[in-house]
A and B are shown apart, each in its own frame.
Chain A
Amino acid sequence: MTAEATKQKAPVEKEPFLNVFLRNLWSSNGVTVTVLSIVLAVVIGAVLIVVSDSAVLAKFGYFTARPGDALEASWTLISSAYSDLLKGALGDPDAFRAWFSGGGTWQDALAPISETLTYAAPLVFTGLSVSLAFRGGLFNIGAQGQAVLGCIAAGVAGFTLGLPIVLNLIVALVAGALGGALWGFLPGLLKARTGAHEVITTIMLNYTAGLFLAWLVIQKGVQQPGRTDAISKVVAESAQLPSFGGVLRVHLGIVLAVLVTAGVAWLLNRSAFGFELRAVGANPHAARTAGISVAKTYALLMAVAGGLAGLGGATQVLGTAYALTPSVAGNIGFDGLLVALLGRNRPWGTLLAALLFGALRAGGNRMQSFTGISLELVTVLQALIVIFIAAPALVKAIFQLRAARVAGLGAVPAKG
């Protein structure tokens, strides 16, 4: 393999740089596949937008007579939808112009970026949770349930303890991490002790956690006084993650997310535990022979992964929601799964993927209110991107990419 590669490389040196560059660009490396996956998803999304619009479809009825009508209407619809998506995610040029000319405030101009970061923050944590478990050979579908437990623990700590400022926030965050860690430790322990497959146990624990939350928020002492619907008390102001306020909802959680990403990168690549978990992930039998306790690694790894997801839930409650509701965790656990796959299970890649998902979500909100295109389109786009990423051979076949090393997903085969 390597010998062949060097043989092929030899003549390459003589070619003009541009040719080499283009060929490498068009070979199926990770970045190219990722970009093309996003392009493919966006194209399919555009088709969906057109197909589901009856006014535009009517114009396609006389396509043969006047094709210009149908194409123009489609183009207008698609371009306005996607430009709203971009404006909602990155910022509206008009708002920036108003800010520079003094007609608008900087808060309005930066609000879209703030939204992107707000949505991205919890996804970083849940994404890291799934990534880390993946590297240890475990498929943590339970990030959702762990995030729910993180929400519960952080929320309850936030409105009951009444500690002084700063300390209250730290305690609530730690409580969230511990709640998630407990919910991650359970499947880890079961896997280590009995071999119960973590995919099955974590799926089941997701729903158990959701039902528990639904029960908890309507209990006396938790439910907000004077309310009959399912909502808890509001977390104390001293336990909330500080933010700019107003339209800028972005909070300290995103800074925390970057720090934790660095921490996970260190843990994974530089620490003894990281080495052990990567060894177990690569080949548990070899790791056992080398004297690594596989069972202990599994249990500890799932606890750490659960703690990360729990932190994600905690940032959701302490940073944006401020109170527990049955749907407080939203879909951050399952989105975290997609984020991890998109980030190819690397910490910094996961961070970037979470930012992309946050941007899509923030932009989707604007697209929904301005163009009237359902936010669900974003879910479709996210799922499609990940499907294409997960099947690089498919993307390669569609775009006729040159054969190169195929960066597949190193997931463990799962029984379930």
Chain B
Amino acid sequence: MSTATVEAPAEVAAPEPFWTRQRRFGVALILLGVLAAVLFGSLAPDKDARFTLTEDAQGAALSINGQFGAVLFGVLTLVAGGLLLAGLLKRWSNALLVAGIVTFVLSFLCWQVAGQFMSLQDTLGGTLDLALPLILGALAGVLGERSGVVNVAIEGQFLMGAFAGALIGTLAGSVWAGLISAAIGGVIIAAILAVLSIRYLVDQTVVGIVLNLFALGITGFLYERLMQPDAQHYNTPPQMPAWRIPGLADIPVLGPVVFDATLLLWIALILVVVIHFALNRTRWGLRTRAVGEHPTAADTVGIRVRGLRYLNVLLGGVVAGLGGAYFTLVATGSFTKNMTAGAGFIALAALIFGRYTPIGAFGAALFFGFAQKLAFYLSAINSPVPNQFLSMLPYLATIIAVAGLVGRVRAPAADGLPYVKS
């Protein structure tokens, strides 16, 4: 037969390198597991570690012997790592990874909490509180970067939002006026970023960094000129009320934290879902991703590249400005100079660590929020582990992620490149 001479083009799969993402994660987890079981296990005192469900030491609690728990969870980390390395349960590799990290953290907690107690409700509440601005900031980043505009000015947008929220909130005597002005404050910085980087083609990172300093300077200047001499008239914004949803708020641990909270937390949680859906399922989302990956192609099919970028950066400004409102209208009752203290950069880290996706950024923000909360907790119980090193965690995790030591993060292809119609 003539057809016999023509060999069907066999599917030549590229030979998969031995060190796949899963295997490298596996090795990392095995090392962590050994560290946890041996080091944490030997250091942990032979006392009970109590994790209470309520806010204080009383009431129902999960309790485990510290030493036993540290070793047990360390071994579980080791097992998860081993499964990943061996390539078993391939369909569940992501779940295994998460399980490995969680058990490592639990092992660490058993060591630290042994002989003490840790309130789960307080921990969860603190984590969400600290993560809230990070979630909003990272979402602002997602909006900009997915359409190809690098936004390192999240810190500046936070500051302007926090400042505008405090100032207008106090002048108007209304927390809602404050919230809206905070969004406008974020938009002002976003607008400068958009005009300079889209219209005047200035390098986006340069604009972002300079805008951070600009926001720091102008809020600091106005703070010292207006707010410091006359705090009563300019710097006593009303606080956002916590709204309680009856029924749901009675769920243990989760209820008081999520369903007895400010509107801002719900806005953040809803935005994560909305942006995730919009980015992946709507016309706007498809166009945004097209503009971020290949603006020339997008332009060819009639998408207004610059217009869409303007829109997204300004929307990002709204979201980041709301994140700024957290600092003055929720966390504290007043504005102070440089009060965001680098939170904008942790949000940037969450954005990158979350692989430029809304859900990923949300998870990363929660993780970083938890790390911060843990740092506070450890310094409160006088732990020998220096809290500065825990605070470094977001930054180091991001470096590891972008360096691709465990799973490379890839930015949108046209991220940072201005689009000039040819």
Contact = CB atoms under 8 A, between A and B. Distances in A.
Interface of A: 48, 52-53, 139, 141, 190, 194-197, 199-201, 203-205, 207-208, 211-212, 214-215, 334, 337-338, 341, 373-374, 376-384, 386-387, 390-391, 393-394, 408-409, 411-416
Contacts of A194: 403-405, 408
B217 A377 contact: yes
A208 B345 CA distance: 12
Contact of B352 (A200, A374, A409): A200
Nearest to B225: A52
Contacts of B402: 190, 196-197, 200-201
A328 to B, nearest CB: 16
A201 B348 CA distance: 11
A204 B203 contact: no
B123 to A, nearest CB: 22
B200 A391 contact: yes
Contact of A387 (B205, B214, B389): B214
Interface in B347-403: 348-349, 352, 386, 388-389, 391-392, 395-396, 398-399, 402-403
A190 B403 contact: yes
Contacts of B224: 374, 376
A394 B206 contact: no
| In the complex, the 8 A-B pairs of residues with the closest C-beta atoms, listed nearest first | A379-B217, A376-B220, A374-B224, A383-B214, A52-B225, A380-B217, A411-B203, A376-B221
30 contacts: A52-B221, A139-B206, A141-B209, A194-B405, A196-B403, A203-B152, A203-B345, A207-B345, A211-B388, A211-B392, A215-B389, A341-B210, A374-B221, A376-B216, A376-B223, A377-B217, A380-B218, A383-B211, A384-B214, A387-B210, A387-B214, A408-B201, A413-B203, A413-B417, A414-B204, A414-B205, A414-B416, A416-B152, A416-B205, A416-B348
B196 interface: yes
A141 B196 CA distance: 19
A390 B399 contact: no
Given A207-B345, A337-B209, A414 B218 contact: no
Nearest to B207: A390
Contacts of B86: none
Given A52-B222, A416-B152, A409 B206 contact: yes
B202 interface: yes
Given A390-B203, A414-B416, A415-B150, A48 B352 contact: no
Contact of B221 (A341, A380, A393, A414): A380
B411 interface: yes
Nearest to B233: A54
A208 B396 contact: yes
Nearest to B404: A194
B193 to A, nearest CB: 10
Interface string B333-356: 000010000100100110010000
Contacts of A204: 345, 349, 395-396, 398-399
Contacts of A215: 386, 388-389
Given A338-B210, A383-B214, A416-B411, A199 B203 contact: no
B48 interface: no
Q: Which of A139, A194, A409, A415 has the most CB of B within 10 A?
A: A415
Given A194-B403, A200-B402, A139 B217 contact: no
B226 interface: yes
Contact of B415 (A53, A203, A416): A416
A387 B192 CA distance: 10
A390 B209 CA distance: 12
Given A215-B389, A414-B205, A416-B152, A380 B345 contact: no
Interface in B402-422: 402-405, 408, 411, 415-418
Contacts of A387: 192, 196, 207, 210-211, 214
B225 A373 contact: yes
Contacts, number: 160
B213 interface: yes
A109 B109 CA distance: 62
Contacts of B388: 211-212, 214-215
A382 B215 CA distance: 12
A28 to B, nearest CB: 13
Contacts of A141: 205, 209
Given A194-B404, A409-B202, A377 B392 contact: no
Given A199-B152, A201-B402, A53 B225 contact: yes
B392 A207 contact: yes
Contacts of A412: 203
A48 B216 CA distance: 14
Given A383-B214, A413-B418, 12 more contacts: A52-B225, A190-B399, A196-B404, A203-B152, A203-B345, A204-B349, A208-B395, A383-B213, A387-B192, A408-B201, A414-B204, A416-B416
Measured as residues with beta carbon below 8 angstroms from the partner, the interface class of chain B is 35 or more
A205 B395 CA distance: 7
A190 B411 CA distance: 16
Nearest to B389: A215
A382 B209 CA distance: 12
Contacts of B200: 391, 393-394
Contact of B399 (A201, A391, A394, A416): A201
A203 B395 CA distance: 8
A390 B418 CA distance: 15
A6 to B, nearest CB: 27
Contacts of A196: 399, 402-404
Nearest to A52: B225
Contacts of A53: 225
Contacts of A391: 196, 200, 202
A380 B205 contact: no
A413 B218 CA distance: 27
Contacts of B348: 200, 203, 416
Contacts of A338: 210, 213
B410 to A, nearest CB: 9
B398 A211 contact: no
A382 B392 CA distance: 30
A149 to B, nearest CB: 14
Contact of A394 (B196, B204, B395, B418): B196
Contacts of A205: 395, 399
A37 B206 CA distance: 16
B403 A52 contact: no
B415 A383 contact: no
Contacts of B395: 204-205, 207-208
Contacts of B352: 200, 416
A89 B40 CA distance: 57
Contacts of A334: 209, 213
Contacts of A379: 213-214, 216-217, 220-221
A211 B210 contact: no
A390 B206 contact: yes
Contact of B398 (A200, A383, A411, A413): A200
Nearest to B204: A414
A323 B142 CA distance: 42
